[in-house]
């Protein structure tokens, strides 16, 4: 049976849809539109409305330009909305999962992602907010208070909305799991050390977080990209970057009054601002939202003591090498491989080459992707897991279905268990990848583990293979017909990488 369903919130009444087994509400505003003078300011409360607001269609994506990995284009800054998916059966006190999408910090949306199976797998309420991205989410400039954290502040506003409103959907505001993938996982790491986020969530899931703790050597994210620092920037450095970018684009006059400059910047068309989005994906630390860099705070144990699940995919880097090298007409070759090694690892290049010889892979690009997976993804994830496990219950996984259908097809390139390949095992993507029977069974298991963790803070379930904590060094491999421990440390040569910078 399908039909309308109405819920009264503190800001007004919304009408969603009832489907067989679940309820769906989309595009519910959790903060005022950050438009006009509200650009680059903290999210403000929603203005209450009268009547019944339609919540059956998606809200606006955050402003973004289409990319090779994301087709969505949006110029509308009125984007601070969220979707709620809940079981249709009457109930109260259900665990809540708040999902932060990925997309590199410049792209992403809640549209096209159906959380029904996840909600029903564990009797959960799933909340998916949209938040400011790129130049609108991580911009900084002299005179701009708490710059570089507007996306984080939006997410915190969504968590506060959950605290106020989620009981109306049957959820428990005292049992909230904050989860995210890729850039969304990076944001989860930020909330774990942000004082202002304390108490707003009670468990955390980080899927394929990138560069949380340390730098990334040149070319190991994408061939051709230089060495990268951790994904956090000092506020003063961001202010300088913002001022230089604004002047370079002719939006402001160098050396002018910061207040007047910000007033002009708030009038720049969104389409023009988006030209600079790639430069503003690193949240800033040194302000109220993020006083300390997570790269420093997490290893020191200065984070909220909540249980954590984290992990990676077995072939993370194939996404980046396949999409941005091979499919872009710039594959790694036998001739370029030694140069990439030298520029990435300097005096250690020969030692790395001996561990990752070209002959061990079908193509140079696949050889480079394996090396990059181990150094840029597996090693940092292992170090992050150890930082968490020293202070709180921690469970580590590796998604290892090398036949997983990719969300972003890579024609002619073996995708393997690439970055983001686990997402269709949590969510449905209408019109997207189709899973085999064995893969559907794995998806049931993945959702089951995630639901158990959201419910009790431990992924263990009697109907699934045991999953010991990471304190024992255990890593749970998730693959069709093969769920259980794997020697992640040996598989990704972590003892070797531990000896290198």
The active-site residue out of 419, 420, 422, 477 is 419
Which uninterrupted H or E stretch holds 313? strand 308-313
316 is a catalytic site residue: yes
Distant-in-sequence, close-in-space partners of 240: CB < 8 Å, separation ≥ 6: none
181 is a catalytic site residue: no
Pair of tokens at residue 211:
């560069």
Closest by CA to 190, choosing from 281, 324, 318, is 281
Q: Where are the beta strands (DSSP E) in 340-471?
A: 394-399
Backbone angles phi, psi at 183, to 5 degrees: -60, -35
The active-site residue out of 11, 24, 74, 182 is 182
182 is a catalytic site residue: yes
CA 69, chain centre distance (Å): 15
The pLDDT tens digits of the residues spanning 246-268 come to: 999 999 998 889 999 999 999 99
Q: What are the C-alpha distances in Å from 23 to residues 99, 109, 115, 404?
A: 17, 20, 10, 29
- Burial class of residue 219 in the structure, from the number of CB atoms within 10 Å of its CB (0-12 exposed, 13-18 middle, 19+ buried): buried
Which uninterrupted H or E stretch holds 25? strand 22-29
How many Å apart are CA 254 and CA 337, to the nearest integer? Answer: 42
Check residue 432 and give its pLDDT.
Answer: 82
Pair of tokens at residue 445:
């298991």
Distant-in-sequence, close-in-space partners of 347: CB < 8 Å, separation ≥ 6: none
| Domains of the chain with CATH codes | 3-331+376-497 (3.40.50.1820)
The list of the chain residues with pLDDT below 70 reads 1
Query: What's the number of CA atoms in the CB half-sphere (13 Å) around residue 314?
Result: 20
CA 155, chain centre distance (Å): 12
Q: What are the C-alpha distances in Å from 368 to residues 297, 329, 337?
A: 32, 16, 8
The pLDDT tens digits of the residues spanning 35-60 come to: 999 999 999 999 999 999 999 999 99
The active-site residue out of 165, 316, 398, 422 is 316
Q: How many helices (H) and strands (E) does the chain have?
A: 16, 15
Backbone angles phi, psi at 181, to 5 degrees: -125, 140
């Amino acid at each position: 049976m399908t039909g309308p369903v109405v819920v009264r919130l503190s800001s007004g009444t919304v009408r969603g849809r009832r489907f067989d087994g679940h309820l769906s509400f989309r595009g519910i505003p959790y903060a005022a539109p950050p438009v006009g003078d509200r650009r680059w300011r903290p999210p403000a409360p929603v203005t209450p409305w009268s009547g019944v607001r339609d919540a059956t269609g998606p809200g606006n994506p955050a402003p973004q330009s289409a990319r090779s990995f994301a087709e969505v284009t949006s110029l509308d800054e009125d984007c601070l909305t969220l979707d709620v998916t809940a079981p249709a059966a009457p109930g109260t006190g259900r665990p809540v999962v708040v999902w932060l999408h990925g997309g590199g910090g410049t792209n992403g949306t809640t549209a096209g992602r159906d959380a029904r199976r996840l909600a029903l797998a564990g009797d959960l309420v799933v909340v998916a907010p949209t938040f400011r991205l790129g130049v609108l989410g991580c911009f900084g400039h002299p005179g701009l208070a708490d710059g570089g954290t507007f996306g984080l502040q939006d997410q915190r506003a969504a968590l506060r909305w959950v605290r106020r409103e989620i009981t109306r959907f049957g959820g428990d505001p005292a049992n909230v799991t904050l989860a995210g993938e890729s850039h969304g996982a990076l944001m989860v790491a930020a909330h774990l050390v942000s004082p202002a986020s304390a108490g707003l969530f009670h468990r955390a899931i980080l899927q394929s977080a990138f560069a949380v703790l340390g730098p990334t050597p040149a070319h190991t994210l994408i061939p051709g990209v230089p060495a990268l620092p951790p994904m956090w920037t000092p506020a003063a450095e961001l202010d300088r970057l913002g001022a230089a970018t604004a002047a370079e684009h002719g939006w402001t006059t160098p050396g002018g009054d910061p207040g007047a400059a910000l007033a002009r910047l708030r009038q720049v068309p969104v389409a023009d601002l988006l030209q600079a989005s790639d430069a503003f994906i690193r949240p800033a630390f040194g302000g109220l939202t993020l006083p300390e860099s997570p790269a420093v705070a997490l290893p020191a144990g200065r984070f909220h003591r909540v249980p954590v699940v984290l992990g990676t995919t077995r072939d993370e880097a194939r996404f980046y090498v396949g999409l941005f090298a091979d499919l872009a007409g710039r594959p790694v070759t036998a001739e370029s491989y030694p140069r990439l090694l030298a520029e990435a690892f300097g005096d250690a290049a020969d030692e790395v080459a001996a561990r990752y010889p070209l002959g061990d892979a079908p193509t140079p690009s696949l050889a480079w992707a394996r090396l990059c997976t181990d150094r840029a993804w597996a090693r940092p994830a292992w170090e992050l897991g150890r930082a968490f496990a020293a202070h709180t219950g921690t469970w580590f996984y590796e998604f290892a279905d090398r036949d997983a259908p990719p969300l972003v097809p890579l024609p002619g390139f073996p995708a393997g268990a690439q970055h983001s390949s686990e997402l269709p095992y949590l969510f449905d993507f209408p019109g997207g990848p189709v899973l085999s029977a064995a893969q559907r069974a794995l998806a049931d298991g993945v959702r089951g583990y995630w639901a158990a963790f959201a419910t009790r803070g431990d992924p263990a379930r009697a109907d699934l293979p045991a999953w010991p904590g990471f304190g024992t060094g255990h890593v749970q491999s998730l693959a069709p017909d093969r769920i259980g421990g794997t020697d992640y440390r040996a598989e990704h040569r972590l003892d070797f990488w531990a000896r290198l910078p």
